[in-house]
Amino acid sequence: MEVCEDRADALERAFGPLDDPDNPLGQDAILAADGSGSVLAGAEEVLDAYGFNAEFVPEELGGRLSRMDTLGRVLRPVFRRDASVGFGYGLNCFFAAAPVWIAGDDAQRAEVAGHLLEGRRVAVARHEVAHGNDFVREEFTARPADGGGFLLNGSKAVIANASRADGLVVFARTSGGGGGRSHSVLLLDRGKLPEGRLTDLARRSTNGMRSAEFGGLRAVDCPVPREALVGALGEGYELSLRSSLAIRGLIPSIVLAGADTALRTVARFAVRRRADGRSSLDVQHVRDVLTGAFLDLLLSDCLALVATRGLHLLPQQTSAYAAAAAYLAPKITAESMDEMSAVLGEESFAEDGAYAMFQKQLRDLPVTSLGHAGSAGRQVSILPQLPFFARHAWFADAEAPAGLFRLHGDLPPLDPARPALLGDSDPLAATLVATDGLLGSADLPGDTPECRGALRHLTRALVTELGELREAFAGIEPGDRASLVAPRSFALADRYALVLAAAACLGVWREQRSGAGGTGAGGFLADPAWPAAALYRLCRRLGLPLPDRPAVCERRVLSEVLARLHGRRSYDLYGTALA
């Protein structure tokens, strides 16, 4: 994993200190570009020099993509600064390329790899079913053309990087009927299309990610060769779902990167001394907010770890974990941002000055987290799996492999076409059950008794919650779609996601405690204080009966918040050095 550390560190150093007023890529420059809705040219020059788009190209095609957890790590130095740059320059290219990596033929894969490795962009125009946050309901259609191929017609008003992209991945309707076989995927090279048949539409302004370009395209009888078809005819919806398995695991990383900067901004505000020698940190509520925000980032990173490493280690089971990660991380982060804004007060509205990065991250978060599909879509992909888990998996499966929770360590090769759309077991939930057994039968020498006792109690409460979920979903018969889409089922899916987050935390903590996790965060992640405080937060969200508040554990977490602030380390599992 040293290679990943080197690559992430290289990007961090290249951008320089975010809070340095003399840094041309620092906060002031980023905010100025955001205010004007323009791209920060210096930032793109850094990414050009680094060859950032190579991160999205598989190794066998000349790129650097071999591990999804590594990709999540490398994205963070960019998204900690400016989601517009991270998304507009590169990550959107990965979203576009994913269907081609999964189902494209050799020529198509080489074409997309060539675009990215040579510094060009690829954009994606999705259909409304797979893209839960469309501004308007428009789509492209592709009808058979005389002599072969297709004629592309229609428009989409909002496509990221529409005018900047040389390659286009278009989800187009190829069948007049509904259902899952109505759309197909086409790969277009704009430089090879007849002039005037595909035109740019006006750019749309957005409240968040203001520097990113969201424009549109209109096609009028645009001829497309048959060899542009990616995969089989009518396979568009399935390819969208398969692509989402890889994409969703990255959502927590980019969300927590922005929230990392927000938390650091609020922590700096809270520790500043006023004329009377006091600070906001003297207020218990402020301490609680900082502690809770950090715990939510750790929870999100545990989910990121499971979702990305699961693509390698548990390809037949990771579907629910990817969806839960992409659903829950933005949700709990948004709640933390609301709490932190109350600490900042009127400074939370500032668009310049020392604390203005908070307002930018607050605006960017909804666009960043919903860029691929809305939260309801992620819940919908979880729900069909839960009745099966209830009848066949929960309290019966073996727990997840230890490697799923390691911050470092080897992984099997990535095969983006291998992950299953529906899981056949739930080993992550089994990790929760197994940890409950370990905590109930073994002492944890050297730990604070309060944290140890709280962790045992909270883990047992979550196992009980899993039992209640089993009872609720076991009563839903196979094929009973009406019950699955009932409001109660959505609420239960939300509860399941929180249970998974707890299981992921416990798995990470156990690996760190065993000494196999290997992290620069020192002994903090091996301490039961943070999982106890995190599970308390999760159980409170679930409305479960709570033990006495683990104040000792929360003080340990708060001390880590302040240590990382003064030591310039990231607020994720890795605690990496910042520029």
CA distance 371 to 81: 18
Say what the pLDDT of residue 134 is: 41
DSSP classification of residue 65: B
Beta bridge partners of 144: 150
**What residue type is 44 in one-letter code?**
E
Whichever domain contains 51, its CATH number is 1.10.540.10
Asked, for residue 240, whether it belongs to a domain, the answer is no
Domains identified in the chain, total number: 3
Asked, for residue 417, whether it belongs to a domain, the answer is no
The pair phi, psi for residue 389, each rounded to 5°, is: -60, -40
Same domain, 36 and 91: yes
Same domain, 279 and 201: no
Greatest Cα-to-Cα distance within the chain, rounded to the nearest angstrom: 82
Q: Domain boundary residue among 199, 234, 269?
A: 234
**What residue type is 492 in one-letter code?**
L
Same domain, 374 and 478: yes
H or E stretch at 382:
helix 375-382
CA distance 408 to 387: 34
Same domain, 431 and 542: yes
Tell me the CA distances in angstroms from 88 to 371, 465, 497, one per residue in order.
11, 41, 29
Q: What is the dihedral of CA 62, 66, 68, 69, to 10 degrees?
A: -120
DSSP classification of residue 422: S
Question: Is 65:391 a contact under the CB 8 Å cutoff?
Answer: no
Asked, for residue 578, whether it belongs to a domain, the answer is no
Which residue in 156, 161, 162, 171 sits closest to 228, CA to CA?
A: 171
Asked, for residue 7, whether it belongs to a domain, the answer is yes
Same domain, 267 and 372: yes
Same domain, 91 and 165: no
Same domain, 137 and 110: no
CA 89-216-156 angle, to 5 degrees, is 120
Whichever domain contains 353, its CATH number is 1.20.140.10
Q: Quick one: residue 221, left, alpha or beta (phi over 0 = left, psi -120 to 50 = alpha)?
A: left
Q: Domain boundary residue among 121, 136, 160?
A: 121
Question: Is 258:368 a contact under the CB 8 Å cutoff?
Answer: yes
Buried b (16+ CB within 10 A) or exposed e, 100-127: bbbbbeeebbebbbbbbbeebbbbbbbb
Q: Mean pLDDT in each 10-residue stretch from start to end of the chain (579 residues)?
A: 74 96 95 91 94 97 96 97 92 95 97 96 76 54 92 92 93 82 94 93 87 91 96 94 93 96 98 92 97 98 98 96 95 96 94 93 85 68 94 96 95 94 96 93 69 94 98 90 90 96 97 71 85 98 94 97 97 96
* pTM, rounded to two decimals: 0.94
Can you give the residue range of the structural domain that contains 56? 2-121
Same domain, 430 and 534: yes
Asked, for residue 242, whether it belongs to a domain, the answer is no
**What radius of gyration do the chain's Cα atoms show?**
24
Q: Which residues contact 354 (CB under 8 A, 6 or more apart)?
A: 268, 269
Beta bridge partners of 199: 218
Q: Domain boundary residue among 75, 91, 121?
A: 121
The tokens for 449 are 């008794």
The tokens for 533 are 């405080």
Whichever domain contains 198, its CATH number is 2.40.110.10
Same domain, 296 and 388: yes
DSSP classification of residue 177: S
Asked, for residue 572, whether it belongs to a domain, the answer is no
CA distance 508 to 23: 36
Tell me the CA distances in angstroms from 461 to 86, 432, 440, 500, 546, one per residue in order.
40, 11, 12, 13, 9
Asked, for residue 395, whether it belongs to a domain, the answer is yes
Same domain, 68 and 163: no
Asked, for residue 139, whether it belongs to a domain, the answer is yes
Same domain, 168 and 110: no
Entry field: residues in the chain: 579
DSSP classification of residue 320: H
Q: Which residues contact 99 (CB under 8 A, 6 or more apart)?
A: 124, 169, 185, 230, 231, 239, 240, 242, 243
Same domain, 201 and 303: no
Buried b (16+ CB within 10 A) or exposed e, 531-544: bbbbbbbbbeebeb
